[in-house]
């Protein structure tokens, strides 16, 4: 048996309702959780951008702007990785099956359609699952030596 002690992952979540304040609530919550776990600012920035992109996609496309529809956002912080989990009650849709966006120059590109490409860039791994109640997208971010400053508080 190794002398390295592994900490159990710490999970927390928030449920937001579709509406104009949803993205602000998620961003504030992500920042508070990241600070509570002493995540490095660069890692927290990547998680924050991915959460905003994924939740915005669910609200706009998956739920079609239906006010009050729930979206659950969870962070699972372990000793080697952080997982961002987005659960929604939208119709089945696996964004990972969509063709990757063709590379293009920004000045030749249309607005929109970059969300999953951005998440793929920042996350180490992406997984989709259809659940009994909807969709689950999990973005995994690896912790490196500088990604967490201290143990969770």
Residue 44 pLDDT greater than 90, yes or no: yes
What is the C-alpha to C-alpha distance for residues 8 and 12, in angstroms, rounded to an integer?
13
Mean pLDDT of the chain: 82
Domains in the chain, number: 1
Task: Give the Cα separation of 133 and 139 in Å (integer).
Answer: 19
Maximum mean pLDDT: which of 50-59, 65-74, 77-86, 107-116 = 77-86
**What is the extent of the structural domain holding 109?**
10-142
* Residue 59, domain CATH: 3.30.565.10
Is a pLDDT exceeding 80 seen at residue 79? Answer: yes
Confidence at residue 118, expressed as pLDDT on a 0 to 100 scale: 86
In a domain, 122, yes or no: yes
Domain membership of residue 116 (yes or no) is yes
Residue at 40 is within a domain: yes
Model-wide pTM > 0.85 = no
Q: What is the pLDDT of residue 145?
A: 47
Q: Is residue 59 assigned to a domain? A: yes
């Amino acid at each position: 048996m190794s002398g390295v002690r592994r900490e159990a992952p710490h999970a927390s979540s928030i449920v937001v309702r579709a509406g104009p304040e949803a993205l602000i609530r998620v961003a504030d919550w992500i920042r508070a959780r990241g600070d509570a776990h002493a995540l490095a600012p660069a890692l927290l920035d990547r998680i924050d951008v991915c959460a905003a992109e994924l939740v915005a996609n669910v609200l706009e496309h998956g739920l079609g702007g239906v006010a009050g529809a729930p979206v659950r956002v969870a962070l699972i912080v372990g000793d080697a990785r952080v997982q961002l989990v987005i659960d929604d009650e939208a119709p089945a849709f696996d964004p990972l099956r969509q063709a990757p966006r063709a590379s293009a120059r920004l000045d030749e590109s249309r607005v929109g359609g970059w969300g999953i490409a951005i998440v793929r860039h920042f996350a180490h791994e992406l997984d989709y699952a259809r659940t009994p109640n909807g969709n689950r997208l999990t973005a995994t971010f690896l912790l490196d030596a500088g990604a967490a400053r201290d143990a969770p508080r």
